[in-house]
Amino acid sequence: MESVKKVLHFIITIGNAMGKSLVDGKLGSTDLVNFLPVVMEAPGAFSGLQNFGSDLKSITPEQRLELVQYVKDNFSIPEANIEAVIERALSAGVEIVAIIEAFKAPIVSA
């Protein structure tokens, strides 16, 4: 469950950074400051990727409610949008993990 929270937090942080950056309708170098939290969270978000898929598949309804509360506590998202944001963020997380796995170098034993 911890890996799910970390990836969820990371993906929502990316969305938040993009949202802030595009308020004026364009993305520029002055918006880089909005992405500092994304960069700072990346190592933690990616540290448990090997558990993400299995953790995500085994989420219970109680843990699902815990994710909703987690998002409420950590982000300013209208309550009516929270569940949709969680679904989209977790779907994005699945795709990001798949891309990362595709680029991992195979382990060659000696």
pLDDT 10s digits, 32-53: 999 998 888 888 888 878 888 8
Query: Whole-structure pTM over 0.85, yes or no?
Result: no
**Six token digits for residue 34:** 């909005």
HEC sequence for the chain: CHHHHHHHHHHHHHHHHHHHHCCCCCCCHHHHHHHHHHHHHHHHHHCCHHHHHHHHHCCCHHHHHHHHHHHHHHCCCCHHHHHHHHHHHHHHHHHHHHHHHHHCCCCCCC
- Residue-range domain boundaries for the chain: 2-103
User: Using CA atoms, how far apart are residues 91 and 95, in angstroms rounded to an integer?
Assistant: 6
pLDDT 10s digits, 68-99: 999 999 999 999 999 999 999 999 999 988 88
**Six token digits for residue 7:** 């990836």
